[in-house]
Structure 1
């Protein structure tokens, strides 16, 4: 098989090309976000477009795509295939979307799996087509490219290739810093390379096995410092403090702050480790950020770029619903980017 089928078209998003393009370009324009110079890593959600498309569009609108050949590396988590200690790359040559195909950078895929077999391997085709975390990026990417003047039918626009990657969950023996070192090499090559980190934020509710709660800023600070354990509402009375949805927002914004501070520290002192700060936040809150390891791999790139300048911009945040009771659930969506000036 050489073409990956758009398996989620018609369910997670529209399979009608004109309706889908109208919807996605509408969100991209509504974001009112100009491309941010040197925006090389974006963080964006991967739920159904009706839930997260408006937030997702802020990330894509910020992306600096350059004006020449473009390589887009997609980093996503696995919801279907279990594996560890590896990054699995798509073995397809082309990715189908209702808006037109995306070409896989097979040369980069072959090079990574050949030169770094301890880190990179091929993703089984059935696991590739079952996964939504990467597929949900593809139509939005295609819509953004078309809006920016890429992907013209006459071939007059700069070539674009993609490298879909699925990142294994973090284990003790699995050091994402090794992956970051290899990904950083892609940044130093002549082709303009950008990274898409596919990640929803907090999955809150009993069905996600996460009902954490912080009543106020003081409590959150104590949790982040490690001096207090986070409250589990399945074992505690209904909260007397702020609404649950506000607590979720507070936890998610603390996650964003951890990324921002980690990147700031890495820029000011390359001995500081943005990945370590991110993992410390996860360890203390257990926030169910499903793309925490893809985001960790992206953060691991930064210390490997000598004399580069980094900055984080968070652009939008939303929730699928405003949770008021432990019997309810929600998923959070955040849009942001990291600029890398070399």
Structure 2
């Protein structure tokens, strides 16, 4: 689209490139989930980032919780792991917007400017150019929220404390949603994956940041988010836990997915 926007890199691969087909698939994923109703929307979501045929239905359980907050959430802070480019710390884009088949999402440049003095944050467009962990969340967010600005951060080699410090800067109020993009175990046999992923989820539900990348590929951004969730007394709620053997794949080697909402405590 524009010279200063990041074009969609995985449309047609991880999700449909044709807007109507994409809207239909997202609608199907959301329809299978219980809506949030009048309950307060979560402050933080943990969602998977595989192809939609594999993990879209799981992600739908998380995104359906935002329906009641459509008019309130104006900014999304989105963190996911880097898969293709090695990064020290957290990488922010220089682009003014990210494009998807559903349109353009403006980057909140003012929010990124608030991170300028943090040594763990760098500007690195290469880290974002082909990264799917952030991009696959955008069509869901466009569908459920409509208009919002985005603070996308690709997380590489960083400590949980470094990530938590960035999240704290961007925490904001009810207008800000934080989304962590991570799958769970990778390529284990079905029954073994179920056991490993259940143990990982139990740790997440205890707000325990001691996670490794065999348990969750986004363990680094997730660990930082769990520290922040603990500091803000958020209460985690498991919405869905499945793997690719349950959705669209064989059961010999599966990838685990979960959807967890973190809500303000009483």
TM-score norm. by structure 1 comes to 0.70
Q: Tell me which of 166, 169, 176 is aligned to 2:160.
A: 176
Task: Give SS of 2:260's match.
Answer: strand
Structure 1 unpaired stretches of 5+: 152-159, 206-243, 263-273
- The farther-off stretch of 87-96 and 316-325 is 316-325
In structure 2, list runs of 5 or more residues that go unmatched: none
1:200 is aligned to 2:124: no
CA drift of 1:254 comes to 0.8
Relative distance call for 1:303 and 1:49 in structure 2 (3 A) is closer
- Match 1:94 to one of 85, 94, 97: 97
Whether 1:133 aligns to 2:133 is: yes
Cα distance change on mapping 1:127 and 1:177 into 2, 3 Å: closer
Report the alpha carbon displacement of residue 290 of structure 1 after superposing the two structures with TM: 0.6
**1:2 Cα deviation after fit:** 1.1
1:67 aligns with 71
Per-residue deviation, residues 122-173 of structure 1 (Å, max 9, x unmatched): 122x33121111111111111122xxxx33xxxxxxxx1110111123xxxx
How many angstroms apart in 2 are the aligned matches of 1:163 and 1:304?
21
TM-score by length of 2: 0.89
Describe how 1:18-29 pairs up with structure 2 within 5 A: 18-29=20-31
RMSD: 2.3
Q: Distance in 2 between matches of 1:191 and 1:55?
A: 24
In 2, the alpha carbon distance for the partners of 1:55 and 1:201 equals 12
- Cα 1:295/1:17, change in 2 over 3 Å: same
SS at 1:75's partner residue? strand
Pairing 1:162–2:150 present:
yes
Match of residue 6 from structure 2: 4
Shift of 1:300: 2.0
| Alpha-carbon distance in 2 for matches of 1:83, 1:143 | 30
CA distance 1:324–1:300, change in 2 (3 Å): same
Larger Cα Rg: Structure 1 or Structure 2? Answer: 1
1:119 matched residue in structure 2: 120
SS of residue paired to 1:20: helix
The 8 Å contact of residues 72 and 163 in structure 1, kept in 2 or not, is answered as yes
